Amino acid sequence: MKTPQSGFTLVEIAIVLVIIGLLLGGVLKGQELINSAKVKNMASDFQNLPVMIYGYQDKFRKLPGDDDAAAARFTPALDIAHQGNGNGVIQGLWNADDPAATGNESVLVWEHLRRANLGAGATDFGSQAAAKKSLPTNTEGGRFGVSGLRPISSMSSGSFYACSDSLDGKYAVLLDTQIDDGKPDSGAVQAIAQSGGATQADGSKAASRSYSEGTRFTVCMSY
């Protein structure tokens, strides 16, 4: 006499498949929420910057970083080398990191903003090593910076420019879409693909023509 073999019914299999589907949906939705939060944080970097810079201008009638009276403006006083030349331009590359180098007002801008209580973060810019730890980064660990020098040659002229680097294409396109037109080579927000992990936004090259996931981009905005 054969022993009857037990097995899963169609209803049981259907229930298991539904549960698996719900779990996968939850995981995907959770990842979507994480990505959305990251992009919102990145967008805030770009949106908050002009508020801080114009706030400094309104308070001191000078651009942060370019402020030629900054040395004696704050308590304790800044090193004399940590004030700008007052020519109305934030000089230096947006991703410079040496506060002592001549013309690196793009580094000093963060020291001036924070000492004026217009920006959050460390105020130790006494050396290049200290500055590297104090300079702002984005949610992907890339650098966020500002300069009066155009970082991407195809961008329209502006009073100053901000850039955020090391962003995967999936984040870069969402960021561009949220604050501009979603195209890397048009509008106030433009982007350029990085090569070998290094940013290409040095002012000599035009923006990329499309975004691609898996490729790192430097996204810049003109103001």
DSSP label at residue 150: -
Of 48, 159, 167, 161, which Cα lies nearest the Cα of 95? 161
pLDDT of residue 171: 97
Residue-wise pLDDT for 25-84, tens only, equals 666 555 666 678 899 999 999 999 999 999 999 999 999 999 999 999 999 999 999 999
Of 149, 73, 153, which Cα lies nearest the Cα of 113? 73
pLDDT of residue 64: 98
Judge whether residue 8 has pLDDT over 80.
Answer: no
pLDDT of residue 102: 87
Residue 20: band (very low, low, confident or very high) from pLDDT cuts 50, 70, 90: confident
Residue-wise pLDDT for 73-126, tens only, equals 999 999 999 999 999 999 999 999 999 898 899 999 999 999 999 999 999 999
User: Which residues pair with residue 221 across a beta bridge?
Assistant: 162, 189
How far, in Å, CA of 216 to CA of 200, rounded? 11
Please give the distance of CA 188 from its chain centroid, rounded to a whole number.
15
Residue-wise pLDDT for 124-170, tens only, equals 999 999 999 999 999 999 999 999 999 999 999 999 999 999 999 99
- 3-class DSSP state for residue 47? helix
Residue 21: band (very low, low, confident or very high) from pLDDT cuts 50, 70, 90: low
Judge whether residue 13 has pLDDT over 80.
Answer: no
Q: For residues 102 and 81, is the Cβ–Cβ distance under 8 A?
A: no
Start-end of H helices in the chain: 10-60, 70-73, 105-115, 128-134, 169-179
Query: Quick count: other Cβ atoms within 10 Å of Cβ 14?
Result: 11
How far, in Å, CA of 80 to CA of 26, rounded? 56
Q: For residues 107 and 125, is the Cβ–Cβ distance under 8 A?
A: yes
Residue 7: band (very low, low, confident or very high) from pLDDT cuts 50, 70, 90: low
Whole-angstrom distance between the N-terminal and C-terminal Cα of the chain? Answer: 86
pLDDT of residue 51: 98
Q: Domains of the chain, with CATH numbers?
A: 40-222 (3.30.1690)
Judge whether residue 206 has pLDDT over 70.
Answer: yes
